[in-house]
Each structure stands twice: as C-alpha cells, then as structure tokens.
C-alpha cells in the first residue's frame, strides 16, 4: 500500500512460498493464564498474541455503568519488543483504533444483557507481530471470552485479505502489508454469514472486493473450526483430569 518497487509474487507463489489462498500456520491454546477468567494464546505465522478476559465484574466509577447491560472494554496493546523497531510503550492512535473496532467486532455475539452494571474486560497483548495482529487478537479474544464462560451467541472469527502485485491474496504478512496494494481485515460470525468488522487500507475494485470477501469467508470457516477444536480440547482434557482425580480420591478413601 505504501511503498513500491518490490516484487512480491514469483511463479504464482508469494514471497513466503504460500499460494494466494493459503493461510499461515495457526496454533491455538486455551486457558493459558491462571489469574484470568478466560484466556487464549493465538499464533498466526509469526504473530503471537495472548488474550485475557476478566469479568463480568462490577464497573467503577458507577456513573459509567449501564443499567441494562454489561459494557465491554477491549485493550489491544503491542509490546515494545513485538516489532522490528522498538515501539514506544503505551497507547497510541493505532492501538486505540484497533481496540475500538475489535470491541465492536465482538459485541454482537456477547449476551451483555445478562450482566447489567458490570464490565467485561478484554486485554490483547501482542508479543510478536508480522501483520494481521488485530485479526489474531480478535480470534484469541473470542476464544478467551468463551473460556471465561461468558454467554455468547457464537464465536467471532477474523482474517485479513488484500491485493499484492495485482493478485487477491489471503492473510498478508508484514512484507505484503507494507509493499502490497491493499489490506482488508475482516471479522465475521461464520454460521450467520455476518460481517462484524471490515476495514480497508489501499484500493480494490468492486469485483476485487467481492473476490476477497469470498476468500476471507472460506478462511474464516477454517479458523472457526480450529477455534472450536481448541475449546473442545481444553474442556475434554479438564473433564478427563477431574475424572482421574475423582478416581484417586475414591481410592484414597478406601485405604
Ligand atoms: O497488525 P495489523 O495488520 O492488524 O495492523 P497494521 O497497522 O496493518 O500493521 C501491520 C504490521 O506492521 C504489524 O503487524 C506490525 O508487524 C507492523 N507494525 C510495526 O512494525 N510497528 C508499528 N508501530 C505498527 C505496526
């Protein structure tokens, strides 16, 4: 989008060897933080993010409470060591914008009406970045909210699509993000086919946007499955552990 003169596609492959419609490898781990009510570690290629959810808990000061529902507070933060050039710690315009759009991407699925006067706090910490951190953050936050037991209508899933050397590609890396023609992060409720976030940096034609959206939807279906599997894996392990500990207690009682 910003810089020109770099070849990003050669022989039908991208700079990191991926096909146009190929996602970077994804790893999801649920419940990684002891003190949070819910948490998730999400890896997307070289992006590494952690989401921590606290609440619902009483909101202070009282005058910012909503008598009808919980409010969601979302803080996206990039660690100073997460980027090539050290990032100055603390919020900046970019992180405030990302926090806002990410909160709005998740709000439609959270049943805030069950918890009036409270807050649900979501913290997303970017430990390492390679473009796509807001999408990784939303995916992690969505799983962490479910891990915290917050009633949700569904999960939210996110991915970026864009245009690089005239081709519509999925899940841009930092190089493609910097030197490509367009980057379009999307978040959606997969089963409802409903988009909850759509941003665009750069330019694409109407037809290109249509093609990109199709690509994003297919990728979100895959990521959604991985989010579900990660949650199921954690809770299956937990049930197994509990059953084992029950068995052990029963044996001890026999002695
Ligand atoms: O990370 P995401 O694609 O959601 O947001 P972006 O604003 O498009 O940033 C793209 C990438 O630029 C980030 O993932 C970082 O790798 C890099 N970046 C950076 O190096 N220093 C910053 N202060 C902000 C972003």
Residue pLDDT, tens place only, 170-200: 999 999 999 999 999 999 999 999 999 999 9
**How high is the pLDDT of residue 208?**
98
Mean model confidence pLDDT for the chain: 96
First to last CA, the chain: 71
Residue 81 lies inside a defined structural domain of this protein? yes
Closest C-alpha residue for ligand 1 atom 14: 131
**Structural Rg of the chain based on CA atoms:** 20
Question: Is the shortest distance between the CB of 103 and ligand 1 below 6 Å?
Answer: no
Q: Where in the sequence is the domain holding 73, given as residue range(s)?
A: 9-248
C-alpha–C-alpha distance, residues 157 and 189, integer Å: 6
**How high is the pLDDT of residue 246?**
83
Ligand 1 geometric centre to CA of 228 (Å): 27
Q: For residue 147, is pLDDT > 90?
A: yes
**How high is the pLDDT of residue 238?**
82
Residue 253 lies inside a defined structural domain of this protein? no
**How high is the pLDDT of residue 240?**
82
Ligand 1 geometric centre to CA of 127 (Å): 12
**What is the reported pTM?**
0.95
**How high is the pLDDT of residue 251?**
82
C-alpha–C-alpha distance, residues 155 and 178, integer Å: 30
Residue 255 lies inside a defined structural domain of this protein? no
Residue 1 lies inside a defined structural domain of this protein? no
**How high is the pLDDT of residue 2?**
56
**How high is the pLDDT of residue 165?**
96
Question: Is the shortest distance between the CB of 176 and ligand 1 below 6 Å?
Answer: no
Q: For residue 1, is pLDDT > 80?
A: no
Residue 110 lies inside a defined structural domain of this protein? yes
Domain count, the chain: 1
Supply the CATH number for residue 153's domain.
3.30.230.70
**pLDDT (mean) for 68-84:** 98
């Amino acid at each position: 989008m910003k810089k020109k003169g770099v070849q990003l596609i050669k022989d039908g492959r991208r700079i990191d060897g991926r096909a146009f419609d190929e996602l970077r490898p994804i790893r999801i781990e649920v419940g990684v933080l002891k003190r949070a009510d819910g948490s998730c570690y999400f890896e997307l290629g070289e992006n590494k993010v952690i989401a921590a959810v606290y609440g619902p808990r009483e909101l202070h000061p009282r005058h910012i409470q909503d008598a009808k529902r919980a409010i969601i507070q979302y803080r996206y933060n990039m660690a100073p060591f997460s980027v090539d050039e050290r990032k100055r710690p603390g919020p900046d315009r970019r992180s405030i914008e990302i926090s806002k759009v990410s909160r709005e991407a998740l709000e439609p699925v959270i049943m805030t009406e069950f918890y009036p006067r409270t807050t649900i706090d979501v913290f997303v910490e970017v430990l390492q970045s390679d473009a796509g951190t807001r999408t990784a953050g939303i995916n992690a936050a969505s799983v962490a909210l479910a891990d915290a037991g917050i009633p949700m209508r569904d999960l939210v899933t996110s991915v970026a699509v864009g245009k690089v050397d005239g081709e519509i590609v999925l899940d841009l890396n930092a190089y493609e993000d910097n030197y490509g023609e367009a980057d379009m992060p999307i978040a959606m409720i997969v089963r409802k086919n409903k988009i909850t976030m759509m941003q665009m940096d750069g330019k694409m034609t109407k037809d290109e946007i249509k093609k990109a959206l199709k690509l994003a939807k297919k990728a979100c279906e895959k990521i959604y499955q991985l989010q579900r599997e990660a949650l199921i894996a954690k809770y299956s392990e937990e049930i197994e552990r509990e059953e084992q500990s029950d068995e052990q207690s029963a044996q001890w009682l026999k002695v």
